[in-house]
Structure 1
Amino acid sequence: MTDAPTSFDVARARADTPGCTDILHFNNAGSALPPEPVLTAQTEHLKQEARFGGYEAADMAADRLQHTYVAIAQLLGADAEEIAVVENATRAWDMAFYGLDLQPGDRILTTAASYASNYIAMLQRAEATGAVVEVVPADAHGQVDTAALRDMIDDRTALIALTHIPTNGGLINPAEEVGAIAQDAEVPFLLDACQSAGQVPLDVEALGCTMLSATGRKFLRGPRGTGFLYVQRDWIERITPPLLDLHAATLTGPDTYRIRSDARRFENWEGYVAGKIGLGVAVDYALSWGLDAIAERVQHLAGQLRAALAEVHGATVYDLGVRKSGIVTFGISGWEASKIKHRLRTEGMHVSVSTPSSTLLDAEARTLPDLVRASVHYYNTKQEIERFVATLQQRFPAQVHR
């Protein structure tokens, strides 16, 4: 195996990451290891809360909280007023989706690789409004067929909803092509960037998305319990949040209220202040490395892992796509994915299991079993990949039934 084609200070990345000294962490698509600056920012604020009280500590941290919006806006090429910081990516996606005015016969176009939480929400809204959910076919590479998408759009198409990087399968969907199609047709485009934020560059203008949802805990290496939503300025007041409180709106009289005009209309008053501060630090940290450099290294490491797994007797890699992400899904003949996961954990190696229910349409179309999901990040190394694969070969000999 060779190093990545461009220089990357892996030693500094690992020195900044306390967890690297104890474990081999290939579960970055679940929750990545936070760097020291993020950990410090959170713990320092929690100490301030303990010393001065939660309200007072939040007042003292007002500038740092505001900076989080600025940092996320920089990450996305957006404006801070177009950003809402919420509890997680699902809440971010829901606040945008449930705020759309869907009517009977409206069509929601999505893909088989949509994350189950999103697809469940689509089905629920379809039942409640009379809208319909339609799945755009995949192309020969498993990604959304953009020609088919273009042909499916008509004057009843109310939304295009795309998962940029699915939870399994390795592919990166061609979001920019989808965005261009959506803009040409003047159809709103909701992009789930839960797995792509922090892994690949995201420029909302280039992506052409109307709305974008993401989490802090995955490839951004931020705190759990944090997420964010981008809504294009021209669309903010066209989407009515499904939930309001005194932060999202102002009570103007006994029978009247006014919803705020920026994206914070999608937030609520109470929140994880230490997490919000940590999220801003995580975004700053990612930007300091450069998202192009991060994407290049992550995809290089994932390519090394796929190549190494191809040499493991009885192993099958299930990844798709022209361009592949840092998520690698595989199985070993005769072994349950959950048993592989738990055995690896006793060896200090972290992976997760991708179940068919998380992307049911894709899983049924490809007859997928439970899969081991190994997801790399830029602080991982080729030596870790070699050790990981050697452990698989030693602990999980293929059991091929004849």
Structure 2
Amino acid sequence: MLNVEQLRADTPGTADVVHLNNAGASLMPNVVIDTVMAHLQCETRIGGYEAAAAADARLEDVYASIARLIGAMPDEIAVVENATRAWDMVFYSLPLKLGDIVLTSTTEYAGNFIPYLQLKRRLGIEIVVVENDPGGQICMDDLRRKLQHPRAKLVTLPVIGTNGGPVQPVEAIGKEARQAGAWFLLDACQGIGQLPLDVQKIGCHALTATSRKYLRGPRGMGFLYVERDLCSQLEPAFLDLHAAHLRGPDSFELRNGARRFENWECNIAAKLGMGAAVEYALSIGMDAIWTRIQMLAHALRAQLRDVDGVRLQDVGAIQSGIVTFTCDGIDPDDIKRKLASLPERINVSCSTDTSTMLDMRARGLKSVVRASVHAYNVQDEIDALVYAINEISLRR
């Protein structure tokens, strides 16, 4: 059974702030902080290259830890600067060409949608958005229809949108994509560390994720999974002497495995810290973490429904720990600022239509308040948020 008191004791930030911005960046546990600081101190004492060499075995362990977290093999993992770079590295390496169709969802993140538009302009690919079902998640019947097109080459979407929304039925999506012979690229930024994700069950060809969100690792670090068979067929969009090596003055050879998507320079301390975050999550158990997050999010939604003027904006048959809402007559940014100025310092964020334009404009939304719970949050913190929102609403 999950020990919440121990989770909070492991998380020093819980003594200073009511942190409900885990979809932005979670509070790190002591083991992550200590791991990062210990390596930085080692660099200070003996030098950066020397400290990296001393940590070589532990750096290898990071790949094994990530592989265990998602059901992959270590050679299918690349560790990169962030999830955006991970996603770009694999997307721009896919051999898309004129007329090829990229299928995505209304919850697609702008940081991914912009590259679609770039390749539409550069190569002439087509972008097709799959319809939603009545519950708000991707419509499987529409996906099947669209995958029947002979030029449908790629299905790509986030498992959970940055503005909340549903947990997408990724295992069913993966099955349909594979049956149709299309690649499936999954953006797991808001999912990794929040709910169990197994690439074998999902059937995705590639998956990208960040360290700083629900995984509770350092900022400026992320990882990429690429299925072994696909990886051997892809040449990354750009290379260096880590991703490949010179065979002679006029030839080079790509590195085997997913590390061909990395580059030589790396934040070693953050890489070790992300590995510690993965091991911490595994030690607790992803099923236990996900169960508690769902319980807290359900309680928060239930209490917000009773606040006059508050409108929940979440959809989907399965909803995540990201709870989004608006309050009649009050700008979400104002709510965020007022919550942060309280003595208890309540952290939330705002999600705008510049991040998830298709979904939010279709629903007539420009911005929402985003309160995202994690397993270390407690009912008292939810009560504090709801009480504060009620006070703000009464004064509008």
Shared fold (TM-score greater than 0.5)? yes
Q: Summarize deviations over 1:57-77 as a string: whole Å, max 9, x none.
A: 000000111110000000011
Q: Summarize deviations over 1:228-287 as a string: whole Å, max 9, x none.
A: 000000000222211100000001111111111210000000011000000000000000
For 1:205 and 1:391, the matched residues in 2 are separated by 43
Q: What is residue 390 of structure 2 aligned with on the other side?
A: 393
For 2:275 and 2:134, the matched residues in 1 are separated by 39
Q: Does 1:223 align with 2:205?
A: no
Match of residue 242, structure 1, among 232, 237, 246: 237
For 1:226 and 1:16, the matched residues in 2 are separated by 21
Counting matched residue pairs gives: 393
Match of residue 145, structure 1, among 126, 139, 145: 139
* Counterpart contact for 1:226–1:276, Cα < 8 Å: yes
Q: Given residue 367 of structure 1, which amino acid in structure 2 is its aligned partner?
A: G
Match of residue 362, structure 2, among 362, 365, 369: 365
Match of residue 279, structure 1, among 274, 282, 288: 274
Q: Given residue 169 of structure 1, which amino acid in structure 2 is its aligned partner?
A: G
Q: Does 1:76 align with 2:78?
A: no
State the identity %: 50
Q: Does 1:206 align with 2:182?
A: no
Q: What is residue 323 of structure 1 aligned with on the other side?
A: 318
For 2:313 and 2:395, the matched residues in 1 are separated by 17
For 1:151 and 1:394, the matched residues in 2 are separated by 49
SS in 1 for 2:298: helix
SS in 2 for 1:339: helix
Report the CA distance between 1:398 and its aligned residue. Answer: 6.3
Deviates more, 1:166-175 or 1:188-197: 166-175
TM-score (norm 2): 0.98
Q: Does 1:351 align with 2:348?
A: yes
For 1:13 and 1:223, the matched residues in 2 are separated by 17
Report the CA distance between 1:169 and its aligned residue. Answer: 3.0
Q: What is residue 336 of structure 2 aligned with on the other side?
A: 341
Q: What is residue 124 of structure 1 aligned with on the other side?
A: 118
RMSD of aligned residue pairs (Cα, Å): 0.8
For 1:204 and 1:172, the matched residues in 2 are separated by 16
Q: Given residue 78 of structure 1, which amino acid in structure 2 is its aligned partner?
A: A
Report the CA distance between 1:163 and its aligned residue. Answer: 0.8
1:1-400 alignment runs, 5 A limit: 7-153=1-147, 154-347=149-342, 348-397=345-394, 399=396
SS in 1 for 2:354: helix
* Counterpart contact for 2:349–2:370, Cα < 8 Å: yes
* Counterpart contact for 2:162–2:190, Cα < 8 Å: yes
For 2:166 and 2:101, the matched residues in 1 are separated by 25
* Counterpart contact for 2:136–2:165, Cα < 8 Å: no
* Counterpart contact for 2:308–2:393, Cα < 8 Å: no
Q: Given residue 311 of structure 1, which amino acid in structure 2 is its aligned partner?
A: D
For 1:214 and 1:183, the matched residues in 2 are separated by 21
SS in 1 for 2:394: coil
Q: Summarize deviations over 1:94-126 as a string: whole Å, max 9, x none.
A: 101000011111000001100100000111112
Which blocks of at least 5 consecutive residues in structure 2 are unaligned? none
Report the CA distance between 1:289 and its aligned residue. Answer: 0.7
Deviates more, 1:387-396 or 1:196-205: 387-396
Report the CA distance between 1:334 and its aligned residue. Answer: 1.2
TM-score (norm 1): 0.97
For 2:314 and 2:395, the matched residues in 1 are separated by 20
* Counterpart contact for 1:170–1:326, Cα < 8 Å: no
Report the CA distance between 1:8 and its aligned residue. Answer: 2.3
Report the CA distance between 1:127 and its aligned residue. Answer: 1.2
For 1:355 and 1:173, the matched residues in 2 are separated by 20
* Counterpart contact for 2:309–2:393, Cα < 8 Å: no
Report the CA distance between 1:391 and its aligned residue. Answer: 1.2
For 1:366 and 1:192, the matched residues in 2 are separated by 22
Q: Given residue 163 of structure 2, which amino acid in structure 1 is its aligned partner?
A: N
Q: Summarize deviations over 1:194-223 as a string: whole Å, max 9, x none.
A: 000000001001001000000000000001
Report the CA distance between 1:303 and its aligned residue. Answer: 0.5
Report the CA distance between 1:387 and its aligned residue. Answer: 1.2
SS in 1 for 2:67: helix
Q: Given residue 357 of structure 2, which amino acid in structure 1 is its aligned partner?
A: L
Report the CA distance between 1:357 and its aligned residue. Answer: 0.8
For 1:342 and 1:240, the matched residues in 2 are separated by 46
For 1:158 and 1:250, the matched residues in 2 are separated by 31
For 2:328 and 2:131, the matched residues in 1 are separated by 29
For 1:260 and 1:126, the matched residues in 2 are separated by 30
